[in-house]
Structure 1
Amino acid sequence: MSSERPMSLTVAGECMVTRPFAVHNEPEFDEVLARLRSAELTYAHVETNFGHFSEVEAPARGDQVGSYFLTDPQVAADLRAAGVDLASLANNHSMDFGSKGVHATIRHCDAVGITHAGTGRDLEEAREPKYRETRQGRVALISVTSGNKSHEWASQPKASLPGRAGVNPLRPIMRYLVDQQAAEQLKAIGGSLGILRETKAGAEGSSGLLMNAEPGEFSLAMPTDQSTTGSNLWRPSDHFEVLSSCNKWDLAGNLRSVGEAATMADLVIVAHHFSVSEGPRGNTPPKFVQEFAHACIDEGADIFIGHGWHKTLGIEIYRGKPIIYGLGNFFAQSEFVRRVPYDAFETWGHDIERLPTLTPATHPLHPGLNQGNETWWSSAVLDVELEGGQLSSIRLHPVECGRKVGKEVDIRRPVGHGEQPLTDGRPFTAHGEDAERILERYQRLSAEFGTTVQIEGESGLIKV
């Protein structure tokens, strides 16, 4: 149950951190780290794996446009020295280097004293709450991820078969609503191609495509998706919309963990990493994320923290508890991955016949970080205060990661001398127009949930 005593938590964003940073001491950087260190309790989302290359084997994925994260374990020590007490580890990069990468990350977090959740040797370990004893009381963290592929999901052991190491998943079910005319056209196209699947049609190759289907829904059995369950469900409607909902088994299992934590801890934090969306990554979280957030609060969670789109989203106050839908990046250093596997060079269209001549400095190798992505290089550190089990206030302290906040994303702290400038990526206190833009975005998006963010100089305040 929620504690009646005052509780405080400082929340930092997504840490795509790939370089040791304890050596730096710029005032704007020190100010950010001092905020973390001085907090009673600090949480951050770690979006990398910790380990030496000798600890892991070949990369475990091949067809994903994105970085492959493996970071010097010294960085884990730097994060702990910076004040990070709790870290969620479940995300779409958790299995970049397979089960050995998962085990190495867990081992190095344990070694430096960071309490972590979201990955494990099997599903029970990945899903269970992890507890930390503090002067404020006992704190529980549950970490969940959506958007991973099936081989990344942790599984339960069965008889003599061990469970699979991996992440704690919350699988979304996507439904595509189209008007009646479009539905008939899709059926006609699917029928002509031989890929239409309807309930009780008995077509070969259906596998589990219709396992989650409701009456009147149909699926298109794309040749590469025929061994998946419910990869696309189409529903005739009077309008066009993408609807997402939670897989019922994953929802129930995670809510059991929330219920356990609510019984055994004074403060319950749920962290949800979602790399999927209902279309382009806009400014509104997917419906299944909102469904999950509300269900977690209903079950006893005190704070729900969302991340995965690498952008700040709005803050909702639900039943007196904060739901932070999008943290944004706290460290943005994906450009500095030391070793890049074959798969990344192939994905980005490089001549793999010249593989020995390609290096981590080759461009491009990472998502378009400087192409008008005004939210990639900024976020805020949030000081959350609860009293009597209810939110009292949230103070927002904006940070920037080395580029100007805005569509131009002009570089402020370059690294190296290449034609494509690399960005330092560490969080500095944001000032002036940067701070204003970060806070105004929080203000605008939070207002859509009925939450008022007051801008007071270069910080923001939510007061309940």
Structure 2
Amino acid sequence: MPTETTMIFTGDSFITRRLPEDGYEGFGALHRIIQDFQVRFTNLEITVHDEEGYPDAQSGGTWAMTEPPVLDDLLRYGFNLFNTANNHAVDYGHGGLLATIANLNKRGCISAGAGRNLAAACRPAYLETKDARVALIGACSTGFPTGIAGNQSPTMQGRPGLNPLRFNTTYHVTRENFEHLEGIASATNLNAWQQRLIDLGYEPPLPEGSLNFGGLQFVASEEDYLSTTVHPGDMQRIRAAIDEATRQADYAIVSIHAHEALDGDPAKPAEFLREFAHEAIDCGADAIIGHGPHELRGIEIYNGKPIFYSLGNFIFQTETVTTQPADAFEKHAMPTDTGIGSYMDSRSQNGTRGYPTEPHIWTSVMAGIRFTDGAATQIELYPIDLSMDKPRSRRGTPTPAAGTETLEYLADLSGEFGTKIRIRDGVGLVDIR
């Protein structure tokens, strides 16, 4: 008899409110869908602790912290596998990150993507199912350098943080524009300090024909465009983790948190993300699970394996955090004793700007994959709605979506990759084999 392993994946869970004791309308239906799968994944887009960490000088937008019992609520949905590598992982420093991992471990939650040092952050996590062992590797391309985990050395412990997927950005400009930039840099002494560091031997010389302009890399080309490529060292490290996972498990899943977009369009993945996803599959990954831009991106089937460039949001309760550090209020020139409600009203101009006005933020899908004898055979897409039109106190909580609008939109995005989504009884289906 063929052996089937089933997995369901969701996007960002930015959860700040407790589940009602008796659930809510639509919760039971979501729970039944999720529970029907053996592997049940979400991205934990928040730190979960009792203020064990100090707020970092920078954040992923909203300083993300909530009380540990919300993990019990995510378990009530049915999740059993979590990604912790995202741009909010160190919103409350290393203390907040390590406390989050401790709270996950206390509940037996299996997670990947962040850890006490780089080796721990990149290490695959393993989930045992009835017929298969499944490995998860988590990585993140979005965030600040202070959030990146560090290696151990023979004489020094490593640094807590997330498993990074950095990338190199090159701005290609015409010769005329290149010379114009050179003139501005020379006239303003923009690169004087960097040149001194190069002269002293602390920085390597710039490649021939390139210009560092305020930290951005420019080269002369025949036309103007931007290109991004994967950081080779990070790719090599993640490749090694995938290789280990394929030796130790039946399936290797790679989770990547990435906000970066192509040509500024949040619905299109950046060039380096496509490169990364293909290379990860080439070295053995069975599926790539993307999230980060808080909205859907297209689905690609590459060498018979699915790439979800973004699954958008599952829970998005950013406006009902309990507290924010002084930095948040000072950034918006507000008194530091401002209430959170007033702060959120000001930031969104009473709901007339930002995420509250973006329809694609509030609709998404849960993506199920059915594997038979080690090969992905079908994708099932269950649309969800996060109640954009409800007040802040109830917005951002998922329910099954009525109609096919979200699936039709995702079908359009996926058409760019040659992926066809058919819709049957309100569920999107992709036949792989």
When normalised by structure 1's length, the TM-score is: 0.87
Give the secondary structure class of the aligned counterpart of 2:171: strand
The residue identity in structure 1 corresponding to 2:397 is: R
| Partner residue in 1 for 2:412 | 444
| Partner residue in 2 for 1:31 | 29
The separation in 2 between residues aligned to 1:259 and 1:26, in whole angstroms, is 42
How much has 1:24 moved relative to structure 2? Answer: 4.7
The separation in 1 between residues aligned to 2:56 and 2:297, in whole angstroms, is 31
- Residues matched between the structures, number: 425
How much has 1:40 moved relative to structure 2? Answer: 1.3
How much has 1:61 moved relative to structure 2? Answer: 2.5
The separation in 2 between residues aligned to 1:357 and 1:240, in whole angstroms, is 45
The separation in 1 between residues aligned to 2:129 and 2:204, in whole angstroms, is 45
The separation in 1 between residues aligned to 2:380 and 2:202, in whole angstroms, is 46
Q: Which runs of 5+ in 2 are unaligned?
A: none
Q: Does 1:290 align with 2:274?
A: yes
The separation in 1 between residues aligned to 2:407 and 2:72, in whole angstroms, is 31
Give the secondary structure class of the aligned counterpart of 2:276: helix
How much has 1:196 moved relative to structure 2? Answer: 4.3
How much has 1:147 moved relative to structure 2? Answer: 2.1
Give the secondary structure class of the aligned counterpart of 1:159: coil
| Partner residue in 2 for 1:364 | 346
Over 3 Å counting, the alpha-carbon distance change for 1:271 and 1:141 in structure 2 is same
| Partner residue in 1 for 2:46 | 48
How much has 1:447 moved relative to structure 2? Answer: 0.8
The separation in 2 between residues aligned to 1:24 and 1:211, in whole angstroms, is 61
How much has 1:284 moved relative to structure 2? Answer: 1.5
**Structure 2 counterparts to residues 359-398 of structure 1, below 5 A:** 359-362=340-343, 363-365=345-347, 368-371=354-357, 373-398=358-383
> CA contact under 8 A between 1:176 and 1:242: conserved in structure 2?
yes
| Partner residue in 1 for 2:430 | 462
The residue identity in structure 1 corresponding to 2:176 is: Q
Deviates more, 1:354-363 or 1:5-14: 354-363
> CA contact under 8 A between 2:322 and 2:340: conserved in structure 1?
no
The separation in 2 between residues aligned to 1:22 and 1:117, in whole angstroms, is 28
| Partner residue in 2 for 1:238 | 222
The separation in 1 between residues aligned to 2:70 and 2:268, in whole angstroms, is 32
| Partner residue in 2 for 1:125 | 120
Over 3 Å counting, the alpha-carbon distance change for 1:396 and 1:278 in structure 2 is closer
The separation in 2 between residues aligned to 1:389 and 1:253, in whole angstroms, is 25
The residue identity in structure 1 corresponding to 2:43 is: H
| Partner residue in 1 for 2:391 | 414
| Partner residue in 1 for 2:196 | 204
Over 3 Å counting, the alpha-carbon distance change for 1:287 and 1:358 in structure 2 is same
Over 3 Å counting, the alpha-carbon distance change for 1:449 and 1:325 in structure 2 is same
| Partner residue in 2 for 1:269 | 253
When normalised by structure 2's length, the TM-score is: 0.93
Give the secondary structure class of the aligned counterpart of 1:375: helix
The separation in 2 between residues aligned to 1:281 and 1:18, in whole angstroms, is 28
Q: Does 1:136 align with 2:128?
A: no
Over 3 Å counting, the alpha-carbon distance change for 1:182 and 1:261 in structure 2 is same
> CA contact under 8 A between 1:65 and 1:348: conserved in structure 2?
no
Over 3 Å counting, the alpha-carbon distance change for 1:160 and 1:297 in structure 2 is same
The separation in 1 between residues aligned to 2:422 and 2:204, in whole angstroms, is 47
> CA contact under 8 A between 1:29 and 1:426: conserved in structure 2?
no
Over 3 Å counting, the alpha-carbon distance change for 1:331 and 1:142 in structure 2 is same
The residue identity in structure 2 corresponding to 1:259 is: D
The separation in 2 between residues aligned to 1:65 and 1:17, in whole angstroms, is 15
- Listed one character per residue, the Cα deviations across residues 277-335 of structure 1 (whole Å, up to 9, x for unaligned) are 35524321011111111111011100101111011000000111000001101001000
| Partner residue in 2 for 1:408 | none
> CA contact under 8 A between 2:50 and 2:68: conserved in structure 1?
yes
Q: Does 1:300 align with 2:284?
A: yes
- Listed one character per residue, the Cα deviations across residues 122-144 of structure 1 (whole Å, up to 9, x for unaligned) are 00000110111111211100000
The separation in 1 between residues aligned to 2:287 and 2:112, in whole angstroms, is 15
The separation in 2 between residues aligned to 1:318 and 1:125, in whole angstroms, is 29
**Structure 2 counterparts to residues 222-233 of structure 1, below 5 A:** 222=214, 231-233=215-217
